[in-house]
Amino acid sequence: MLILPPKKESKSGSKEPKNRQNTGFATTSIPGLKGHDTRAQCMRVLEVMYLSRFMDEKMSKLVKQNKGGTFHMPATGHELIGAVSGLSLEPGKDWGLPYYRDRSFVLGLGCLPVDLFGTFMARAVSHHSGGRMMPEHFSHKELRIPCQSSVVGSQFLHAVGVAKALKIAGRDEVVYVSAGDGATSQGDFHEALNFACIHRLSVIFVIQNNGWAISVPLKEQVAGGSIADMARGFKGLEIADIDGCDYEQVSTALAAAVTRGRVGMGPSLIVAEVPRLCPHSSSDDPAKYKTCEIIEEEFSRDPIPRYESWLTNMGLVAVTEIETLRAKVRARVEAAAAEADQLPFPEASTADQKVFAPAPVFSCSAQPRCAVADAKKEAVVMVDALNRALDEEMARDAGVIVFGQDVAHGKGGVFGVTRQLTARYGDDRCFNSPLAESTIIGLAIGMSFVEGCKPVAEIQFADYIWTGVNQLMNELSSIYYRSDGKWNCPVVVRMPCGGYIQGGPYHSQSIEAFLAHCPGLKVVIPSNAADAKKLLKAAIRDPNPVVFLEHKALYRQRVFCARREPSESEIMPLGRAEVVRVGDDVTLVGWGMTVCMASEIAEQLAKEGISVEVIDLCTIVPLDMKTVLTSVAKTGKVLIAHEAPLHGGFGAEIAARIAQKAFTDLDAPIMRIGAKNCPVPYCKKLEDEVLPQKKDIENGLRQLAAY
C-alpha cells in the first residue's frame, strides 16, 4: 500500500528541512559538475530512483494478486540517498550491507529488477535467498552483498567484521552499511561504532532518518532528537548530518566518505533526513499515527520531483529527456515483473536442504585412541592441547584469526588457552575485543564473509553468551540456509563451560541443549586432551559455524583427561562418537565431565562383574546415533548422563530417538541422570547436591544392571 499525496499541490523546490545543516564533510563545491560524464551520472541516479519508485507502485498491486508475495516493504521517499550510495561504490570490489528499505542502493550497485521481483513473489531466483527470506532481504555474492536479515541493526557488526578482515588483509575496499533511525536504538549500532573507531575501519554508516520507527517518532527514540549529536562521542568518527533529498549534499558526503574509507582514514557516519512517503509495510496504516499535516509536509520533500527540478535548473537535462526516461523505466519495470511472474517456485523437497555447507571428509586416525595411562611423562592436559591446536592451525593457515576478551598479549585468555599466540603471530592474528559478546559474534560473522578468513572467537564463559545470542542463533546459524547456500560462515566460537569448580550461577552453566536446538550450529564438547586437539582442528577447517565447548574442570585434569598429544596431522571428524570402554551389560552415553566420571565408575563395576560400555558423544551436533544404537542393541540397557539440568536436557532427545528406533532392543527403561532443575550454587556442599555425582552414575548403572 502506498500513501497517496494530499490533493493540495506538493512543493517540489529544494525546501530545506528545519534545523538541518551539514555538520561534517565540506560542501563548498560539488566535484565534477561539468561535462558529459557528470550528466550521464546524474541521469543514472534518476534512472535508479525511478526504478525503485515504479517497482514500489507495481509491488503495491502485486501484493494483492496472490502471486506468491504477501508482504510489501516500500522504500518510497528513500530513493536518492540509496541510489547515490550504490552508485558511489565499485561493484564487485566494495561491500554493501543494506537494510530492508534500501532497494535503490542495491539497484544502484547492480542488482536486477527481475531478481527483486522474483524474490518479492517468493520465486526460485538465484540471488536474495531464492524464496527463503521475505522481500527486501538482499543477498548477492558477486556484488558482495552478504545475506541480510529481519533483525534491526544486526548488520552493523557484520559490516565492521568485514572491514576488520579487509584491513588485516591490507585491501582498500570500503564497506557500506545502512539502517533506519530506529536501528540507532540498538546496542549493536553503538558497539559497531565503537569497534570501528578503535580499529579505524573503512566503514560508511548511513542512517536513513525518516523520523519514524514504524509508528514511534524520533523524539521517542533518540535523546535530544539528533542521531548525529548522539554519535559525537566516538573519537575518529567523521559525521555528516545532511538532507537526504538534496543531491548536492548527498553526493558530496558519499564521495568524501568513500575517499576517506579508501585510504584507511577510518569510519564515517552519514545521517540523511528523508521522508517516508509510504506505510512501514503493507500491514501498516500510517493514518493511525500521522496527521494530514505531517503527511503533507513529508510529500513536500519527495526526492524525485526535487531532483528533477535540480537537474533542469542546472541545465543538465531537458524536461523531454526526463519524460522519455520515465516512460522507458516504467516499461522496464512492467517487463521485469512479467518475467519474474514466469519464474518457478522453489521445490518443496528443498525446504530443509542447505542447513550446513558440505564439510571436508577427514579419515579417522589410524592410530588407536590414546589410553589414559599412555606415556604420562609426555601427556598433555586439555588446556595445553587446545593451545597447540590453535598454534598449529594458525601456522598452517594465515586466515585463522583468534580474538575475544583477554585472549591477547601476556594474558592469553583467563585459562591460558591462547597464551603466546599474539607474540608468535602478531596483533592482527590474535587480538582483544571489547567486553561485548554481541560484538564478538557479530564481528566473527562479518570476518567470515571475506574469503579465506577463518575467525576463532572466544566467549570468556558460556554463561555470558546470552547478550550475543541474537548474533549466534538469529544470524550466524542460518546464514548458509537463508542465502540458499551462497554465503557460508567458517566460524569457531570457543566457550568454557560447566561446573564443579564453585563457579556459582554465572560460571557453571552447561548450555549444549540450547545450542543443539538451533539449526545450523555444530556443537562440540570433548572430554579429554587428545580429542580436544583433534576436534578443534576439525572445527577450524569446517566451513560451518561450530560452537566448541570446553569444560573448565577438565582443562588441567590429569587422571582421565591427560593424553599423549596427537600429531599435527591427526584430526577427529565431527559427528563421530567414541566408545571409551567396551562393555556388554549396560550402555552409558555421556559427554564432557560425565564421561570422565563414568569411566572411573565403569572400571570399579567391572571388578564386580558388571560390564559397562561407555560412549563419549564428542559432538552433540552432528549426533552419532549409529554408535549409540549399535551399543544399545548389544546391551539392551542405557543410561544417559549429562551435567545440564535433567528437565529439557539433551539427554531427552537421545532417549526419544532410542525409544523410536531401538525400542525392541531394550530390556529396561531408558534412564537419565542430570542436574537438579535450579541454578548451580556457589557453596561446594550445595553445588555437589545440584550437579550429578559419581555416586549418582554408579547407582543408576547398578539399577539397570539388576533390572
pLDDT at 363: 75
The count of domains in the chain is 3
519 and 617 co-located in one domain: no
Q: Does residue 270 lie within any of the structural domains?
A: yes
Predicted confidence (pLDDT) per residue in 7-32, tens digit:
443 333 333 444 444 434 433 344 43
Q: SS3 of 446, please?
A: helix
pTM: 0.94
* Catalytic residue ranges: 507
Cα(496)–Cα(460) distance, rounded to whole angstroms? 7
Predicted confidence (pLDDT) per residue in 144-161, tens digit:
999 999 999 999 999 999
pLDDT at 277: 96
Cα(704)–Cα(707) distance, rounded to whole angstroms? 5
CA angle 139, 143, 146 (to 5 degrees): 35
CATH number, position 300? 3.40.50.970
Q: SS3 of 580, please?
A: strand
pLDDT band at 33 (very low <50, low <70, confident <90, very high): very low
441 and 334 co-located in one domain: no
Q: Which residues does 340 contact at the CB level (< 8 Å), separation at least 6?
A: 114, 115, 117, 118, 120, 121, 123, 125
pLDDT at 372: 53
pLDDT at 509: 97
pLDDT at 101 over 50: yes
291 and 412 co-located in one domain: no
- Give strand pairing partners of 380: 563
pLDDT at 19: 41
Q: Does residue 19 lie within any of the structural domains?
A: no
290 and 154 co-located in one domain: yes
Predicted confidence (pLDDT) per residue in 511-563, tens digit:
999 999 999 999 999 999 999 999 999 999 999 999 999 999 999 999 999 99
Pair 343, 125: CB distance under 8 Å = yes
Range of the domain at 658: 580-705
Pair 589, 650: CB distance under 8 Å = no
pLDDT at 330: 98
DSSP secondary structure, 140-186, as one string: BTTTTBPPP-SSTTTHHHHHHHHHHHHHHHT----EEEEEEGGGGGS
411 and 465 co-located in one domain: yes
Q: Which residues does 87 contact at the CB level (< 8 Å), separation at least 6?
A: 41, 44, 45, 48, 108, 109
Q: Which residues does 487 contact at the CB level (< 8 Å), separation at least 6?
A: 139, 141, 146, 147, 449, 479, 480
CATH number, position 593? 3.40.50.920
pLDDT band at 140 (very low <50, low <70, confident <90, very high): very high
pLDDT at 15: 39
Predicted confidence (pLDDT) per residue in 299-342, tens digit:
999 999 999 999 999 999 999 999 999 999 999 999 999 999 99
CA-nearest of 135, 71, 158, 131 to 475 is 158
Q: Does residue 352 lie within any of the structural domains?
A: no
436 and 512 co-located in one domain: yes
pLDDT at 369: 55
Last residue of a domain, one of 300, 318, 344: 344
pLDDT at 313: 95
541 and 584 co-located in one domain: no
Q: What average pLDDT does range 248-271 have in this prediction?
A: 97
Q: Does residue 368 lie within any of the structural domains?
A: no
Q: What average pLDDT does range 374-379 have in this prediction?
A: 64
Identity of the amino acid at 619: T
339 and 428 co-located in one domain: no
185 and 329 co-located in one domain: yes
Q: What average pLDDT does range 594-609 have in this prediction?
A: 98
pLDDT at 38: 86
Cα(549)–Cα(535) distance, rounded to whole angstroms? 11
Q: Does residue 165 lie within any of the structural domains?
A: yes
Q: Does residue 306 lie within any of the structural domains?
A: yes
Q: Does residue 366 lie within any of the structural domains?
A: no
pLDDT band at 378 (very low <50, low <70, confident <90, very high): confident
pLDDT at 3 over 60: no
Pair 430, 421: CB distance under 8 Å = yes
Last residue of a domain, one of 564, 597, 612: 564
Residue found under cell 598429544: 565
Predicted confidence (pLDDT) per residue in 610-627, tens digit:
999 999 999 999 999 999
Q: Which residues does 28 contact at the CB level (< 8 Å), separation at least 6?
A: none
454 and 522 co-located in one domain: yes
> C-alpha cell of 652?
531427552
534 and 648 co-located in one domain: no
Q: Does residue 364 lie within any of the structural domains?
A: no
460 and 608 co-located in one domain: no
Phi, psi of 205 (to 5 degrees): -90, 120
pLDDT at 362: 86
> C-alpha cell of 605?
563395576
Q: Average pLDDT over the chain, rounded to whole? A: 93
